[in-house]
Amino acid sequence: MFRLIICALLLSGCVAIPASPEENVDARIMPDPESYTIGFVDSAVRFYVENGREKTIEYFALEENMIDQWYILIIDVETGRLITAPDPDYIGYYIRGNVDVTGYAHGIELVSADENGKWVHYVWENPVTNNLHQKHTWAIRQDDLVFASGWYEEEEYKEGQNE
């Protein structure tokens, strides 16, 4: 049901996915990063449904398909490993074992997403700043894959901040 609402918002223009990485996304994202993220992930799932597994993996493995800090991770549910990410060093990475600096096992949470989707919030290194930030990730399962993306809070994480 939630996905239907997001799809309706996308179709009505309330949530718009940028056409290219060059487009200024701040004006569209900052007022509502949650809706933007869900729409971004849903567009990846639609791409998968329309183009199949191989083309989807190839497409989202390209760094040029990142939009600002948004990129698509695709996790193989059976193995718990990343099968695509914009950084090729992470292909094959065992995400199911990820634990953040607070001890939260967010990798298990990401892999356990179902077809209704779920939010997973954890502390992770922002690749833009190379510092720890709170990250908010939307993950949703389609077939035997989990599609995920999210954003980082602007403020750096300080130890004990979310405890």
pLDDT greater than 80 at residue 40: yes
> For the residues 121-142, what does the mean pLDDT come to?
94
- Under the banding of pLDDT at 50, 70 and 90, the label for residue 25 is very low
pLDDT of amino acid 55: 97
> What is the pTM assigned to this prediction?
0.80
Please give the mean pLDDT across all residues of the chain: 84
- Tell me the per-residue pLDDT of 53-73, one tens digit each, with 9 for 90 and over: 999 999 999 988 888 889 999
pLDDT of amino acid 159: 80
C-alpha–C-alpha distance, residues 85 and 104, integer Å: 22
C-alpha–C-alpha distance, residues 6 and 71, integer Å: 18
Cβ neighbours for 89, distance < 8 A, ≥ 6 positions apart: none
- Tell me the per-residue pLDDT of 84-110, one tens digit each, with 9 for 90 and over: 988 889 999 999 999 999 999 999 999
Angle at 131 between CA 104 and CA 119, to 5 degrees: 40
% of the chain residues with pLDDT over 90: 66
Cβ neighbours for 52, distance < 8 A, ≥ 6 positions apart: none
Angle at 112 between CA 93 and CA 53, to 5 degrees: 60
pLDDT of amino acid 86: 84
Instruction: Give 150's strand partners.
Output: 137
pLDDT greater than 50 at residue 3: no
Please tell me whether residue 72 adopts helix, strand or coil conformation: coil
> For the residues 3-29, what does the mean pLDDT come to?
44
